[in-house]
Amino acid sequence: MTKSILQLDHVGVRFDALRAVDDVSLDVRRGERRAIIGPNGAGKTTLFNAITGVVPPSSGRVVFEGRNITHAPPHRRADWGISRTFQITNLFPSLTVRQNMELAIRGLTPRKFSFFGSPAATDEERAQADSALTLSRLAARADSAVNELSYGEQRQLEIAMALAPNPRLLLLDEPAAGLSPAERVIVANIIRALPKDITIVLIEHDMDLVLSLVDWVTCLNNGQFLAEGTPADIRNNADIQNVYLGKARHHA
């Protein structure tokens, strides 16, 4: 078994003339906690889309566990062990927590999920759901409707749904976005306590949060690789500080 679980080899994603991801290479080790940081529009979510197959790369290669998955469809990549959360909440509000979990486990949409036509969850599906809800600290809310959950609990459910298929690679896109400081602490603790055999790649703008969670950080800017290093390296990196300060001034 190689130490590397995910390799991006000169990956590019173009939208017409825009190079949203431009010649990015990186190597994530099995069990690693990796952050992808960078200002708005840096290409972070597009990079996740290239890894999960939502947007195929226009150049380069994506290799997962030694397998070239560059052009594999998203559901195959999910079967092979890649799972993700989305930057925007992606839940079905009138269903219960457990029903949302069943949708995630079966890879269904609500349209296909009929309360009358759908067979009851198998014992195995129930066990998968329970285990993911426990890791996400939502077991007590299993029978609540999603629209009764706090926003923080909804983000926890998204993590639970991504964990449900037992992924080996978990991609988290701004899991703490929009949360209060107290809710952020809960989400950070959930991520920190996830089993070490799940490799995690995390996009997050809150620098204190992200640097407290990961071993290694990759910073993108304008679709391109800017820098990488340990959290301590990143705190002291002048290029990264300039990029963030530059953007902050720009938005001011």
Ligand X SMILES: Nc1ncnc2c1ncn2[C@@H]1O[C@H](COP(=O)(O)OP(=O)(O)OP(=O)(O)O)[C@@H](O)[C@H]1O
Q: Given the rule CB under 6 A, which residues bind ligand X? A: 15, 18, 20, 38, 40-46, 87
Instruction: Tokens 């749904």: give the residue.
Output: 161
Q: Choose the contact partner of 81 out of Mg ion, ligand X, none; CB within 5 to 8 A by kind.
A: none
Residue nearest to Mg ion (CB): 45
Piece in contact with Mg ion (CB under 5 A), picked from 12-20, 42-50, 97-105, 221-229: 42-50
What is the rounded CA–CA span in Å between residue 161 and residue 99? 10
How many Cα neighbours within 13 Å face the side chain of 42? 23
Q: Smallest gap, in angstroms, from Cβ of residue 40 to ligand X? A: 3
Q: Smallest gap, in angstroms, from Cβ of residue 175 to ligand X? A: 13
What is the rounded CA–CA span in Å between residue 164 and residue 127? 9
CB 9 within 8 A of CB 216: no
The strand pair at 224-229 and 216-221 is best described as: antiparallel
- Residue among 21 and 91 whose Cβ is closer to ligand X: 21
What is the rounded CA–CA span in Å between residue 53 and residue 158? 19
Strands of 67-68's sheet, edge to edge?
Answer: 18-29, 4-15, 59-64, 67-68
Q: Choose the contact partner of 121 out of ligand X, Mg ion, none; CB within 5 to 8 A by kind.
A: none
Element (H, E) at 226: strand 224-229
Instruction: Tokens 């099995």: give the residue.
Output: 30
Instruction: Tokens 């994506």: give the residue.
Output: 62
Residues 66-95 interacting with Mg ion (rule: CB under 5 A): 87
Which phi and psi angles does 174 have, rounded to 5°? Answer: 50, 60
Q: Smallest gap, in angstroms, from Cβ of residue 23 to Mg ion? A: 19
- Residue among 87 and 224 whose Cβ is closer to Mg ion: 87
- Residue among 15 and 148 whose Cβ is closer to ligand X: 15
Residue from 19, 34, 38, 45 touching Mg ion (CB under 5 A): that is: 45
- Residue among 146 and 217 whose Cβ is closer to ligand X: 217
Q: Choose the contact partner of 20 out of Mg ion, ligand X, none; CB within 5 to 8 A by kind.
A: ligand X
Q: Smallest gap, in angstroms, from Cβ of residue 73 to ligand X? A: 17
Q: Smallest gap, in angstroms, from Cβ of residue 167 to ligand X? A: 21
Residues in contact with Mg ion by CB under 5 A are 44-45, 87
